């Protein structure tokens, strides 16, 4: 068989053959026009192709793995299929190059409907074990890798998957649990807490709220936030905070680890000993008491479940 990095046999036969380690990490994500991206011009197609890989890169990073090979399925409107295929693939390949990912195969079909892109991505574990959602421990610090909220203004298309960051982080420490923020901090933190049988309190003042979330841009006005029957913060008085909790598609890493290791890691970043390409923030603590709580203006609120509905 031919030998091209991790791809033993690439595009051109009935299937590809990829070189794998005994435990291969695999994720798949589907993006639909009008739901996950909008097509206006060539650049919007590039960005859609970029995003189709980027969301999978974020999933692979969130397992504690490095990405390896991608498979791209395209469903294109027949009026503009060839041009759209080129633009989408170009956007994907540019990002693939940044992360040494090989495009090993795929499928292309035409129809009269909107554009649909599916990417399947494989990866190899960085450490011997994956970093799961279900293994957070009481006392852990909760850390995020970037500022949150308002991604609809552009970050949902242009975000930097935290693949390089997680490789460096795992050189220094072992994390207890991890996911990436795709549905919103509140929702994704719950996806760690529930399977781990633990709870948490996060501190509103510690959450890195993005400048986009603070912009008051009219495009964000349509977003509504869940409320709790037992009382929630007044979201209308602090929409940027609500955006950081509920908007989703931030694609930042969200992980937990012992407090001393978290502070050590952040010291390394702040003193420029450790260049992750992003900052890290401790936003709260994992606790034995189940449920997700928010410390806000010296009160503790039960955070209602919710997340961005595409």
Question: Which residues would be at the binding site for its own copies (CB under 8 A)?
Answer: 1, 8-9, 12-32, 34-36, 59-60, 62-63, 65, 69, 71, 73-75, 104-107, 109-114, 116, 118, 120, 122-123, 125, 129-130, 132-134, 178-180, 195, 310
In whole angstroms, how close is the CB of 82 to its own copies at the nearest point?
Answer: 15
Contact 25, 14 (CB under 8 A): no
Between residues 25 and 276, which has the closer beta carbon with respect to its own copies?
A: 25
Between residues 63 and 152, which has the closer beta carbon with respect to its own copies?
A: 63
Between residues 160 and 180, which has the closer beta carbon with respect to its own copies?
A: 180
Between residues 192 and 276, which has the closer beta carbon with respect to its own copies?
A: 192
In whole angstroms, how close is the CB of 46 to its own copies at the nearest point?
Answer: 21
In whole angstroms, how close is the CB of 45 to its own copies at the nearest point?
Answer: 18
**70-90 as b/e: b if 16+ CB within 10 A:** bbbbbbbbeeebeebbebbbe
Between residues 183 and 212, which has the closer beta carbon with respect to its own copies?
A: 183
Chain-centre distance for alpha carbon 119? 15
| Residues ≥6 apart with Cβ < 8 Å to 270 | none
| Residues ≥6 apart with Cβ < 8 Å to 72 | 52, 89, 92, 103, 105, 106, 117, 118, 119
In whole angstroms, how close is the CB of 181 to its own copies at the nearest point?
Answer: 11
β-pairing, 299-302 vs 253-258, is unpaired
Half-sphere exposure of 249 (CA within 13 A, CB side): 21
Between residues 67 and 91, which has the closer beta carbon with respect to its own copies?
A: 67
In whole angstroms, how close is the CB of 34 to its own copies at the nearest point?
Answer: 6
Which of the 8 DSSP states describes residue 63?
T
**181-209 as b/e: b if 16+ CB within 10 A:** bbbbbbbbbbbbbbebebbbbbebeebbb
Contact 201, 284 (CB under 8 A): yes
Between residues 26 and 278, which has the closer beta carbon with respect to its own copies?
A: 26
Contact 140, 177 (CB under 8 A): yes
| Residues ≥6 apart with Cβ < 8 Å to 91 | 45, 46, 47, 48, 49, 50
In whole angstroms, how close is the CB of 291 to its own copies at the nearest point?
Answer: 20
Q: Which two tokens stand for residue 230?
A: 């037992």
In whole angstroms, how close is the CB of 228 to its own copies at the nearest point?
Answer: 26
In whole angstroms, how close is the CB of 14 to its own copies at the nearest point?
Answer: 4
Between residues 195 and 226, which has the closer beta carbon with respect to its own copies?
A: 195
């Amino acid at each position: 068989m031919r030998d091209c990095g991790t791809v033993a046999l690439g595009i051109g036969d009935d299937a590809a053959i990829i070189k794998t380690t005994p435990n291969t990490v695999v994720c798949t994500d589907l993006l639909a026009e009008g739901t996950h991206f909008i097509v206006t011009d060539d650049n919007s197609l590039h960005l859609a192709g970029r995003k189709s890989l980027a969301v999978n890169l974020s999933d692979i990073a969130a397992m504690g793995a490095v990405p390896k090979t991608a498979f791209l399925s395209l469903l294109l409107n027949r009026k503009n299929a060839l041009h759209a295929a080129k633009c989408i693939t170009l956007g994907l390949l540019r990002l693939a190059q940044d992360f040494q990912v090989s495009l090993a195969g795929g499928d292309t079909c035409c129809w009269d409907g909107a554009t649909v892109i599916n990417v399947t991505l494989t990866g190899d574990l960085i450490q011997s074990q994956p970093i799961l959602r279900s293994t957070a421990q009481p006392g852990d610090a909760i850390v995020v890798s970037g500022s949150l909220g308002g991604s609809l203004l552009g970050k949902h298309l242009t975000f930097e998957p935290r693949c390089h960051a997680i490789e460096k982080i795992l050189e220094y420490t072992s994390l207890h649990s991890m996911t990436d923020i795709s549905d919103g901090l509140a929702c994704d933190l719950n996806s760690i807490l529930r399977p781990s049988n633990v709870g948490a309190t996060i501190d509103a003042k510690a959450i890195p709220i993005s400048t986009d979330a603070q912009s008051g841009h009219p495009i964000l006005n349509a977003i509504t936030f869940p409320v709790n029957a037992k009382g929630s913060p007044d979201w209308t008085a602090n929409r940027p905070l609500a955006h950081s909790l509920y908007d989703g598609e931030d694609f930042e890493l969200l992980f937990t680890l012992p407090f001393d290791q978290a502070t050590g890691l952040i010291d390394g970043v702040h003193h420029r000993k450790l260049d992750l390409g992003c900052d890290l923030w401790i936003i709260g603590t994992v606790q034995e008491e189940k449920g997700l709580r928010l410390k806000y203006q010296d009160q503790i609120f039960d955070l209602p479940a919710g997340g961005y509905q595409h």
